[in-house]
C-alpha cells in the first residue's frame, strides 16, 4: 500500500483514552433500566436482555487473570470515519486482557457472518489501518440479521472458530439487529455475547448514554470545510446562490451542525418544517424572501443548506409520495404502456386534487424522478430526488414572478451541490480517532465482564479525554415499537433535531442576522497536529448539548 505523508504521520498517533481504561478495570453496575417507550411490548420480546443495568468502568488495583478469548467483529451499513480505530481498540483491549486472545473480522458486513466469509485480524493488519478512514480493512455491507436461519448459520462459524463474543459496529438498525441476535443467542444458551458500537455520520443514534455516534464529527468538519470554501468563492464572485444538499435523510443534524460552523444565509431544518406543517410552497417562499432581501441590499449571492430528507418531512409532499407509491405499485403495467411524453399528464389525472396540484407544480425532472425511480417493492426512492435542484429551480421561478410584479429587483443565478460520500471515509479527526478507539476498548471490557446485549458507551466527551466516562448501556433501553413493512417491530428510536434543544435554539437566534449579512465562517481543513483548541474541538452540537 502506497501511503501519503499524512498517512505515515497519522499511523504514529496514539489515541487519547479515559483514565479508567489505562490499566485493569472493574464493571460497576448502576440502576436497572427500561425501554424508552412501549415497555411491556419490548420486555415481552426481550425477556433475557431487558432491564439490565447501565455499566460504568472504573480502575481497580486487583486485576483478575482472564482466559484467552476469540472475538469477532462486523462493520455494518454505510461507512463512517473512525471504524478502523474501533477495531484497533477492540484488538488492543483483548490483547491487554490476554495476549493469546484473537480477533476475527467478517468480510463485507453481516453477510460475512452468514456466508462464513472471514479473516483473522493480526497485529500487522491492525497496524496498517490505525487512524485511517474507511471500512476497507474488512469491508461493510447492508445484510440485515433478522431471521432464525441467519442466526443459526452464523452460529455455525462462531462455534467453528470458538468465537465467544461478537461486536457489531453500526447504526440504529444494525444495533437493533445486534440486540435481537444477543437475545436469541442468550435464549438458546449459545454461549456467544453480542456487543454494539454506535456508528452513523447522520448523528441520529444518540441519547442520554450515547452522546454522539462516531463519524459525525469528522463528516461535519469535511462538509463544513467545503461549504466554507464555496462561501468564500460566493463572496468573491458575488453572482451565484449556492444550494447545498447534505447527508441526513432521517434527521437534520448534519445540516444544523454545518450551519453552526459556517453561518450560511439559509439553513432548512426538516424537523421544523414538519412541526410547522409547512408546504413546499412555504419553503420556497421563505428562501425566495431571503434572496429578495439580500438583493435589495445589492447582494445577489448566498448559500442555502438543505438536509437530504427534506421532501419526506414536508407533510403535503409526504402525502403525495405515499399516494404515488401506492398508485404505481398497483398500476405498474398500465403505467409502462403510457408514452413517456404523456406520463406526467397521466399521473396528474390519476391523483387526488391536492396531490395532483402539487405534482403539477414540480419541475419536470423532479416529477419524473418521483415516478420512475422506484425500489423493488414499488416505493419511490426519495433519496434520489435532487432536492437542491428542485429548490433552486422553484425559487428561480418564484423570483421571476415577483420581478414581473415589481417585488424583486435583483439577478438570480444558482449553482447546486450534494455533499455525501465525500465525508463518509475521511481520515478521522482527533476527536473521532480518540472516541472510536475508546469505544472499541470499552467493547473489549464489556466482553471481559460477560455482558451481552449492550452498546459501548463513552460519555463526557467535551472534557479532556482522561475525564471521559467509559461503560455500556443495554440496547433495549433505547428501543420502542414502530411500524415497519406493515408490522410493529422493536427498533432503536431515532434521535431527531430537538426544536427546544440548545443547538437549534442557538441557530434560530442567529439565522435572521446570517440571512441578511455576509458573515460567513471558513473552518478550513481538519487539523491533526497543533494546539488542542484547533485539533481536538468536538462539534458545536455536542458543546451546546453538554454545556453546563
Catalytic residues: 202
Identify whether the C-beta of residue 478 lies closer than 8 Å to the C-beta of residue 461: no
- β-partners of residue 214 are 199
398-408: burial string, b at 16+ Cβ within 10 Å, e else: bbeebbeeeeb
* 3 state SS of 307: strand
Distances (CA, A) of 31 to 53, 130, 196, 512: 5, 36, 20, 44
What is the phi/psi pair of residue 447, to 5°? Answer: -60, -50
Chain centroid, CA 432 distance in Å = 14
The dihedral through the CA atoms of 323, 325, 327, 328 has a sign that is positive
Question: Three cell numbers at 499?
Answer: 426544536
CA pair distance 298, 295, nearest whole angstrom? 5
540 CB-contact burial (10 Å; exposed 0-12 / middle 13-18 / buried 19+):
buried
CA pair distance 250, 529, nearest whole angstrom? 34
Q: How many CA atoms lie within 13 A of 26 on its CB side?
A: 9
CA pair distance 141, 518, nearest whole angstrom? 43
Provide the Cα torsion 124, 126, 127, 132; round to 10°: 150
Q: How many CA atoms lie within 13 A of 323 on its CB side?
A: 17
CA pair distance 147, 153, nearest whole angstrom? 10
CA pair distance 489, 374, nearest whole angstrom? 24
Closest of 470, 474, 469, 439 to residue 454, by C-alpha: 474
Provide the Cα torsion 134, 164, 124, 1; round to 10°: -30
CA pair distance 183, 262, nearest whole angstrom? 44
- β-partners of residue 126 are none
Provide the Cα torsion 531, 533, 538, 542; round to 10°: 160
* 3 state SS of 208: coil
Helix axes 343-350, 315-330, angle to 10 degrees: 110
Amino acid at each position: 500500500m502506497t501511503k501519503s505523508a499524512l498517512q505515515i504521520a497519522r499511523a504514529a498517533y496514539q489515541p487519547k483514552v479515559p483514565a479508567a481504561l489505562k490499566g485493569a478495570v472493574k464493571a460497576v453496575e448502576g440502576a436497572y433500566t427500561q425501554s424508552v417507550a412501549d415497555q411491556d411490548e419490548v420486555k415481552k420480546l426481550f425477556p433475557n436482555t431487558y432491564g439490565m443495568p447501565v455499566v460504568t468502568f472504573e480502575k481497580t488495583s486487583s486485576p483478575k487473570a482472564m482466559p484467552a478469548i476469540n472475538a469477532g467483529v462486523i462493520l455494518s451499513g454505510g461507512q463512517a470515519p473512525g471504524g478502523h480505530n474501533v477495531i484497533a481498540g477492540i484488538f488492543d483491549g483483548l490483547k491487554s486482557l490476554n495476549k493469546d486472545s484473537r480477533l476475527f473480522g467478517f468480510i463485507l458486513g453481516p453477510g460475512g457472518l452468514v456466508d462464513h466469509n472471514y479473516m483473522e485480524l493480526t497485529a500487522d493488519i491492525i497496524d496498517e489501518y490505525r487512524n485511517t478512514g474507511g471500512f476497507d480493512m474488512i469491508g461493510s455491507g447492508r445484510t440485515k440479521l433478522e431471521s432464525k436461519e441467519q442466526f443459526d448459520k452464523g452460529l455455525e462459524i462462531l462455534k467453528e472458530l470458538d468465537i465467544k463474543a461478537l461486536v457489531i459496529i453500526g447504526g440504529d438498525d444494525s444495533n437493533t439487529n445486534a440486540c435481537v441476535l444477543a437475545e436469541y443467542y442468550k435464549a438458546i444458551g449459545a454461549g456467544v455475547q453480542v456487543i454494539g458500537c454506535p456508528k452513523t455520520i447522520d448523528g441520529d443514534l444518540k441519547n442520554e448514554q450515547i452522546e454522539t455516534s462516531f463519524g459525525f464529527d469528522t463528516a461535519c468538519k469535511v462538509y463544513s470545510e467545503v461549504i466554507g470554501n464555496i462561501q468564500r468563492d460566493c463572496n468573491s464572485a458575488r453572482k451565484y446562490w449556492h444550494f447545498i444538499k447534505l447527508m441526513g435523510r432521517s434527521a437534520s443534524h448534519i445540516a444544523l451542525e454545518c450551519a453552526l460552523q459556517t453561518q450560511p444565509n439559509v439553513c432548512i431544518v426538516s424537523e421544523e418544517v414538519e412541526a410547522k406543517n409547512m408546504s413546499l410552497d412555504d419553503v420556497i417562499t421563505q428562501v425566495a424572501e431571503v434572496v429578495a432581501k439580500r438583493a435589495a441590499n445589492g447582494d445577489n449571492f448566498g448559500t442555502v443548506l438543505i438536509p437530504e430528507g427534506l421532501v419526506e418531512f414536508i407533510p403535503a409532499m409526504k402525502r403525495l409520495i405515499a399516494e404515488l407509491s401506492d398508485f404505481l405499485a398497483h398500476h405498474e403495467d398500465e403505467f409502462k404502456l403510457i408514452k413517456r411524453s404523456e406520463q406526467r399528464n397521466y399521473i396528474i389525472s390519476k391523483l387526488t386534487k391536492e396531490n395532483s396540484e402539487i405534482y403539477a407544480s414540480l419541475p419536470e425532472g423532479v416529477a419524473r424522478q418521483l415516478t420512475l425511480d422506484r425500489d423493488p417493492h414499488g416505493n419511490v426512492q426519495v433519496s434520489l430526488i435532487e432536492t437542491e435542484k428542485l429548490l433552486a429551480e422553484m425559487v428561480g421561478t418564484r423570483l421571476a414572478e415577483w420581478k414581473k410584479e415589481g417585488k424583486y429587483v435583483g439577478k438570480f443565478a444558482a449553482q447546486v451541490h450534494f455533499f455525501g460520500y465525500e465525508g463518509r471515509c475521511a481520515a478521522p479527526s482527533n476527536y473521532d480517532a480518540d472516541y472510536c478507539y475508546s469505544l472499541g476498548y470499552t467493547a473489549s471490557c464489556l466482553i471481559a465482564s460477560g455482558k451481552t446485549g449492550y452498546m459501548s458507551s463513552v460519555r463526557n466527551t467535551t472534557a479532556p479525554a482522561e475525564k471521559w466516562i467509559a461503560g455500556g448501556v443495554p440496547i433495549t433501553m433505547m428501543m420502542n415499537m414502530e411500524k415497519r413493512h406493515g408490522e410493529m417491530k422493536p427498533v432503536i428510536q431515532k434521535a431527531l433535531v430537538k426544536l427546544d434543544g440548545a443547538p437549534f435554539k442557538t441557530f434560530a437566534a442567529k439565522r435572521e442576522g446570517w440571512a441578511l449579512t455576509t458573515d460567513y465562517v471558513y473552518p478550513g481543513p481538519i487539523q491533526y497536529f497543533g494546539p488542542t483548541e484547533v485539533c481536538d474541538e468536538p462539534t458545536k452540537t455536542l458543546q451546546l448539548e453538554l454545556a453546563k
